[in-house]
């Protein structure tokens, strides 16, 4: 299938427990990809097909984004399953990069929750058109109307109902299609047979009113529909066309509903996916031309053009090493030659496959816009592969800095080897997961985005790699910074037989302003009259960068520094690259104390959601943890409290919150910014660090 | 360093003239009301009053009923941006981060929420959240349809908790009459409970929103205030 207009790349994004995995499972079932339905926490022990990892199965959550291809009414739909927990945000973000559209799944009882807000914000960042599915309409307290209003109020989306329910809770029978103005029922043991009928008498008035609302809302963003309404010549095709254009233009979010568990409403949702979400050629994708100063170039979804491919996910599963790819431009055949623009290495396309959640199909060719997987390619996730005539890189994905670290101690030699293998794999798969060996303690340190993030990898090491490791307490990734300007004038001189070393540099270091926080470091060269030869200027820059790698207060990197060099001198024989590097490094170390160094700590944006009766306890718990309450929102009996809390105070918060609220509140967190640690705490940290150093 | 900058900023602020018109400010335990038709700039005004207090290191609770916290937060950003725009602030974003630590936005999206619930949550925040609020800004509270009992409760709360309380009020019904100062007739039923009542009205001749102190300290003797609002930027100036 090479017709790009019949191709869809979609994601399913949702709050945990909103029934996303069940929905994915049903989509596979109705599109004949699987032949039986299993439940997520199934009694049959098979588990839903999309949950491909053993660990995920056990915990009932989906961590890795598996891409799977399904066919629906002549369309080829790639479904990218995205994780629901914020600690795995990079996975979500990576998926969003390759999607052209998404289904936002919401629970008809829980509605828009804090995590839906996070996920929606990510979709906004990547301009992903979306349709909403209000799931679990069979549950007690189901109210899709309320959820639709929350989409408007809480997420600021122009949401519009495409359907209304026929019965709710136990009595959910089907839906009314507000475009066709027909009732839809789902017959057969698994709801596979659709039956269209007239709208039940008692729902006619409601359906008319909601159709009116649908037309009003859509006509506000479609002149064509507006005119047709004035001329009273509205047709089904016209409505669908207007909804499609508005959805792709990010001006509208059509809302569908049903119950995946009860097999109701899934086929109309799939119709919605192919009718309203864009095909790959309707989305603009950009790349950076590395041969032309990283100038941004627009990629054309044209199979005849030179190929540009993104490797967005690596997986080391039972089939061996897989690289999931998306083709942005050109096409791909077995035997084609590509170049990895990061490593400049050439590779030949060997085995090419299309993935289903737990099985795969060999293909000879993949087309423009498609998602497929390559076998045995050595690369990191996020690498770009191009036709050898091009040197493009797809826009670098936003990678947040790690905020937490954990020391690992393998119990024996075998575990140590396995651990190394596992870490090598994980760091390639997940750019937010990094690892290094601490030269002082000789311990292996892993770093990531949160406690759970690291815990999951430690678990995977134990299960998949049989690496038995013990862990220390997780530690916060602090930063060091300076708070005032300090001038330096340093001479490096060494005379120990043979050729000597000489370099003198002068200038100052000063803090970068908060408005420049995107930058960690800036080097400014104000040297005049060649007192330091141009060749050695980069050496000074490099020397400072080495100094910044590890501060002397806590041993963490120093950020937010501008280093200015404005004077110096050199010796025609004894000056060298090395001499100037050493001079810069020593100059920095010498004035660091005078620049009044401070410690920065990661501040998390924490969103707690729970019943209003526990609001006081939640406020109290934030206050206890040096947190700042930013806002609280009450809606009926639910309160959402947004706060900024230092990460160092967040350890064990989930347990504490559970006990404070009888388990009825939950929270999410993500990095907000780095802030200065209060003086008394900074003193404590410095003291501990010095003691630890002495102890070694 | 930043303290010094703030000091200068505060001395030059048009809010000094605003306070002067009120005999040095509204003061704790008192209720102040800003009224006008829709879209004249009451929220902008309220946010500027709040920002000025934040600059004085006071703690503010902003209460909104819109269901959209982001919207309120953006107002603060915008007002701060405007204030900082032509001032020689060395590191504006650091100052902004610092003052924001003293502001909490409370949002009630449920329709027709009772004043007891609002005050209850406010008290919870102040006591259990240890937030020492100095002032509370009620943004868009439906004061014109509130009962006298409700307003009395707010007044008592302001006295008990030592809070300066400001309201921005637009009439709920569309057939309300406005007098020459932009004040709707429906507000007068509580005038005894209001310590400062300020009407906002657009004046076409000078292209400004003029502010009139309609009632102050129990006396209804409308006096023009020394400040106006620019209808384009919505910023207060002298």
Give the model confidence (pLDDT) of A632-647 as tens digits: 988 777 788 999 999 8
Greatest pairwise CA separation for chain A in angstroms: 103
Q: Is the pLDDT of residue B95 over 50?
A: yes
Residue of B nearest to A157 (CA): B68
| Cα dist from A419 to A56, A315, A465, A564, whole Å | 20, 17, 7, 43
- Tokens 């509580």 belong to B190
Question: Do A567 and A487 belong together in one domain?
Answer: yes
Question: What is the DSSP track for A202-243?
Answer: GGHHHHHHHHHHHHHHHHHH-HHHHHHHHTT---HHHHHHHH
What is the ipTM score, two decimals? Answer: 0.86
Alpha helices in B58-136 (DSSP H): 69-85, 92-100, 115-127
Pairwise CB contact (< 8 Å): A634 & B104: no
In a domain, A200, yes or no: yes
DSSP string of B61-78, one letter each residue: EEEE-SS-HHHHHHHHHH
Query: What residues form DSSP beta bridges with B103?
Result: B60
pLDDT the model gives residue A90? 62
Q: For residue A663, with 0-12 CB atoms within 10 Å meaning exposed, 13-18 middle and 19 or more buried, which class applies?
A: exposed
Do A52 and A71 fall within a single domain?
yes
Residues B92, A623: C-beta atoms closer than 8 Å: no
Q: How far apart are CA B120 and CA B129, in angstroms?
A: 13
Alpha helices by DSSP H, A104-178: 114-125, 144-153
Assess whether A94 and A26 both reside in one domain: yes
What residues of chain B lie within 8 A of the CB of A608, using their CB? none
The whole-model pTM stands at: 0.65
Q: Who's near B47: CB < 8 A, 6+ residues apart? A: B62, B75, B76, B79, B137
**Is the model's pLDDT at A398 over the cut of 60?**
no
Band (A541; pLDDT cuts 50, 70, 90):
very high
Q: Which of A338, A363, A394 is the last residue of a domain?
A: A394
Q: Are residues A322 and A341 in the same domain?
A: yes
Q: Work out whether strand B196-203 and strand B164-169 pair parallel, antiparallel, or are unpaired.
A: unpaired
Closest CA–CA distance from residue A107 to any residue of chain B (Å): 19
Which pLDDT score is estimated for A61? 39
Contact of A480 with A600, CB cutoff 8 Å: yes
Token representation of residue A677:
């640690």
Task: Give A 638-657 residues with CB within 8 A of chain B.
Answer: 642
- In this structure, the answer to whether residues A273 and A160 fall within a common structural domain is yes
Q: What is the mean pLDDT of residues A609-621?
A: 89
- A430 plus A509 within the same structural domain: no
Is the pLDDT higher at A358 or at A158?
A158
What is the C-alpha to C-alpha distance for residues A232 and A218, in angstroms, rounded to an integer? 15
Do A433 and A492 have their domain in common?
no
Q: How confident is the model at residue A17 (pLDDT cuts 50, 70, 90)?
A: low
Beta strands in A495-554 (DSSP E): 501-511, 521-525
Provide CB contacts within 8 A for B235, sequence distance 6+: B44, B48, B79, B82, B83, B229
pLDDT at A562: 93
Dihedral, CA atoms, A364, A370, A371, A372, nearest 10 degrees?
Answer: 0
Q: Report the pLDDT averaged over residues A91-106.
A: 81
Nearest to A636 among B70, B110, B130 (CB): B110
User: Does residue A168 lie in a domain region?
Assistant: yes
Per-residue model confidence as pLDDT tens digits over A582-593:
999 999 999 999
Query: Which range (A340-354, A390-404, A448-462) has the least confidence?
Result: A390-404
For A437-445, what is the mean pLDDT? 80
A539 lies in the same domain as A442:
no
Last residue of a domain, one of A332, A361, A394: A394
Residue A8 pLDDT: 92
Closest-CA distance, A481 to chain B, in angstroms, reads 15
Average pLDDT value for chain A:
83
Report yes or no on A422 lying in a domain: yes
Q: What is the mean pLDDT of residues B191-202?
A: 84
A153, A53: one domain: yes
* CA distance to A82, A372, B174, per residue, from A110 (Å): 20, 35, 36
Residue of A nearest to B60 (CA): A630
Q: Name chain A contacts of B113, Cβ cutoff 8 Å.
A: 634
Residue A501 phi, psi dihedral angles, 5° rounding: -125, 135
Range name among A33-42, A169-178, B5-14, B180-189 with the lowest pLDDT average = A33-42
Residues of B with CB under 8 A from a CB of A: 67-70, 72-73, 90-94, 97, 100-101, 104-110, 113, 117, 121, 124-125, 127-131
Q: Quote the minimal CA–CA distance from B130 to chain A in Å.
A: 7
Please list the residues that pair with A673 across neighbouring strands.
A603
Asked if residue A49 has pLDDT above 70, the reply is no
CATH, residue A628? 3.30.70.240
* Closest partner CB to A633 (pick from B101, B107, B117): B107
Closest chain B C-alpha to A628 CA, distance in angstroms = 6
Least confident of A156-170, A525-539, B208-222: B208-222
Please indicate, yes or no, if residue A661 is contained in any of the structural domains.
yes
Cβ burial, residue A695 (10 Å; 0-12/13-18/19+) = exposed
Average pLDDT over residues A588-600: 92
Secondary structure of A263-319 in HEC code, one letter for each residue: CECHHHHHHHHHHHCCCHHHCCEEEEECCCCCEEEEECCCCCCCCEEEEEEEEEECC
Which range (A481-495, A650-664, B87-101) has the least confidence? Answer: B87-101
Which residues, other chains included, contact A545 with Cβ-Cβ below 8 Å and sequence gap of 6+?
A: A521
Q: Is residue A687 part of a domain?
A: no
The answer to whether the Cβ–Cβ distance between A632 and B68 falls below 8 Å is: no
Which residue among B69, B113, B128 sits closest to A616, beta carbon to beta carbon? Answer: B128
Over the stretch A256-275, which tens digit does the pLDDT of each residue have?
999 888 888 899 999 999 99
Q: What mean pLDDT comes out for the span A572-580?
A: 88
Residue A515 contacts B where some CB pair is shorter than 8 Å: yes
Q: What confidence category does residue A515 fall into, taking pLDDT thresholds of 50, 70 and 90?
A: low
The Cα–Cα gap between A517 and A675 comes to 11
Final residue belonging to a domain, choices A368, A394, A420 = A394
What residues make up the domain containing A67? Answer: 4-282
What pLDDT digit, counting tens, does each position of A448-466 carry?
A: 877 778 888 888 888 888 8
CATH number at residue A451: 3.30.70.870
Domain positions in chain B:
2-18+25-173
Does the beta carbon of A518 lie under 8 angstroms from any beta carbon of chain B?
Answer: no
Neighbours of A290 (CB within 10 A): 17
**What are the φ/ψ torsions at residue A634 (nearest 5 degrees)?**
-110, 130
Judge whether A613 is closer than 8 Å to chain B, CB to CB. no
What is the rounded CA–CA span in Å between residue A250 and residue A101?
A: 10
* Residue A246 confidence class, pLDDT cut points 50, 70, 90: very high
Report how far residue A173's alpha carbon sits from residue B221's, in angstroms, rounded to the nearest whole number: 66
**Beta bridge pairs of residue A430:** none
Q: Say how many domains are in chain A.
A: 5
pLDDT at residue A41 in the model: 45
Helix axis angle, B42-55 to B69-85, nearest 10°: 70
DSSP A86: G
Region of A296 on the Ramachandran plot (φ > 0 left; ψ -120 to 50 alpha; else beta): beta
Q: What is the pLDDT of residue A181?
A: 92
Angle between helices A615-624 and A653-660 (to 10 degrees): 150
CATH architecture entry for B2-18+25-173 = 3-Layer(aba) Sandwich (3.40)
State which H helix or E strand residue A687 sits in: helix A679-695
CATH of the domain at A361: 2.40.30.10
Shortest CA distance from A619: residue in chain B: B129
Q: Specify if A540 maps to a domain.
A: yes
């Amino acid at each position: 299938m090479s017709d790009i207009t019949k191709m869809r790349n979609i994601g399913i994004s949702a709050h945990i427990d909103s029934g996303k995995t069940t929905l994915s499972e049903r989509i596979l079932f109705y599109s004949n990809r699987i032949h039986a339905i299993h439940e997520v926490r199934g009694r049959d022990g098979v588990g839903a097909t999309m949950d491909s990892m053993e660990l995920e199965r056990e915990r009932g959550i989906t961590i890795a984004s598996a891409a799977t291809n399904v066919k629906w009414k002549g369309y080829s739909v790639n479904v990218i399953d995205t994780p629901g927990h914020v600690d795995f945000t990079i996975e979500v973000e990576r998926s969003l990069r390759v999607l052209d559209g998404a289904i936002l799944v919401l629970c008809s009882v829980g509605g828009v929750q804090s995590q839906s807000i996070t996920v929606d914000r990510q979709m906004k960042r990547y301009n992903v058109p979306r349709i909403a599915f209000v799931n679990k309409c069979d549950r007690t307290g189901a109210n899709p109307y309320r959820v639709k209003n929350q989409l408007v109020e809480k997420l600021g989306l122009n949401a519009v109902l495409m359907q209304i329910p026929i019965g709710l809770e136990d009595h959910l029978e089907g839906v009314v299609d507000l475009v066709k103005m027909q009732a839809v029922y789902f017959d057969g043991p698994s709801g596979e047979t659709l039956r269209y009928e007239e709208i039940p008498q008692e729902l006619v008035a409601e359906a008319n009113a909601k159709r009116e609302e649908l037309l009003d809302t859509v006509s506000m963003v479609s002149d064509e529909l507006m005119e047709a309404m004035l001329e009273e010549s509205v047709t089904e095709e016209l409505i669908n066309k207007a909804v499609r254009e508005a959805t792709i233009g990010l001006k509208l979010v059509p809302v569908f509903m049903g119950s995946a568990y009860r097999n109701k409403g899934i086929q109309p949702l799939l119709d919605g996916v192919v009718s309203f979400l864009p095909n790959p050629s309707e989305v603009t994708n950009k790349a950076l031309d590395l041969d032309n100063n990283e100038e941004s170039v627009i990629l054309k979804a044209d199979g005849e053009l030179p190929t540009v491919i993104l490797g967005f996910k690596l997986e080391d599963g039972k089939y061996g090493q897989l690289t999931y790819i998306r083709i942005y431009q050109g096409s791909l055949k077995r035997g084609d030659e590509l170049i990895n623009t990061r490593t400049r290495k050439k590779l030949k396309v060997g085995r090419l496959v299309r993935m289903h959640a737990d099985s795969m199909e060999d293909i000879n060719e993949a087309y423009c816009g498609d998602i497929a997987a390559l076998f045995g390619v050595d690369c990191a996730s996020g690498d770009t592969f191009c036709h050898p005539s091009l040197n493009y890189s797809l826009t670098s994905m936003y990678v947040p800095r790690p905020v937490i670290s954990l020391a690992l101690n393998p119990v024996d030699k075998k575990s140590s080897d396995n651990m190394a293998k596992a870490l090598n794999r994980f760091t390639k798969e997940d750019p937010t997961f990094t690892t290094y060996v601490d030269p002082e303690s000789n311990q292996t340190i892993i770093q990531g985005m949160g406690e759970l993030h690291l815990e999951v990898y430690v678990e995977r090491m134990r299960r998949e790699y049989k690496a038995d490791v013990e862990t220390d307490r997780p530690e916060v990734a602090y930063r060091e910074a300076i708070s005032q300007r300090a001038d330096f004038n340093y001479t490096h001189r060494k005379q120990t037989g043979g050729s000597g070393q000489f370099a003198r540099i002068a200038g100052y270091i000063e803090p970068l302003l908060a408005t420049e926080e995107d930058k960690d470091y800036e080097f400014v060269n104000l040297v005049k009259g060649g007192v330091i030869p141009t060749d050695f200027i980069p050496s000074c820059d490099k020397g400072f960068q080495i100094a910044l790698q590890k501060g002397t207060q806590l041993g963490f990197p120093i950020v937010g520094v501008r280093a200015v060099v404005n004077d110096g001198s050199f010796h025609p024989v004894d000056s060298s690259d090395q001499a100037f590097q050493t001079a810069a490094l020593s100059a920095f170390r010498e004035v660091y104390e005078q620049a009044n160094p401070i410690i920065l700590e990661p501040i998390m944006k924490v969103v707690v959601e729970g019943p209003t009766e526990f609001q006081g306890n939640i406020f109290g718990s934030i206050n206890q943890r040096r947190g700042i309450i930013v806002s609280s929102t009450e809606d009926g009996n639910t309160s959402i409290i947004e706060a900024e809390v230092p990460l160092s105070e967040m350890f064990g918060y989930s347990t504490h919150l559970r006990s404070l609220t009888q388990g009825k509140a939950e929270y999410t967190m993500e990095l907000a910014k780095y802030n200065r640690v209060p003086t008394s705490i900074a003193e404590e940290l410095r003291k501990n660090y010095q003691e630890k150093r002495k102890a070694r | 360093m930043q303290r010094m900058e703030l000091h200068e900023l505060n001395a030059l602020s048009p809010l000094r003239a605003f306070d002067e018109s009120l005999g040095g400010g509204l003061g704790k335990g008192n209720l102040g009301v800003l009224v006008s038709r829709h879209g004249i700039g009451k929220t902008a005004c309220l946010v500027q009053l709040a920002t000025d207090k934040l600059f004085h290191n006071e703690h503010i609770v902003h209460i909104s009923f819109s269901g959209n916290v982001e919207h309120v937060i953006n107002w603060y950003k915008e007002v701060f941006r405007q204030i900082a725009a032509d001032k020689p602030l060395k590191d504006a974003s650091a100052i902004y981060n610092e003052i924001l630590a003293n502001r909490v936005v409370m949002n009630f999206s449920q329709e027709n929420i009772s004043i007891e619930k609002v005050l209850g949550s406010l008290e919870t925040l102040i006591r259990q959240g240890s937030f020492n609020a100095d002032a509370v800004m009620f943004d868009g509270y439906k004061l014109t349809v509130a009962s006298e009992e409700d307003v009395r409760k707010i007044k008592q709360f302001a006295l008990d908790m030592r809070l300066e309380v400001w309201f921005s009020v637009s009439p709920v019904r569309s057939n309300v009459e406005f007098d020459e100062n932009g004040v709707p007739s429906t507000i007068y039923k509580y005038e005894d409970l209001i310590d400062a009542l300020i009407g906002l009205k657009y004046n076409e001749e000078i292209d400004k929103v003029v502010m009139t102190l309609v009632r102050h300290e129990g006396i209804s003797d409308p006096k023009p205030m020394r400040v106006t609002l620019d209808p384009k930027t919505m910023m207060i100036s002298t």
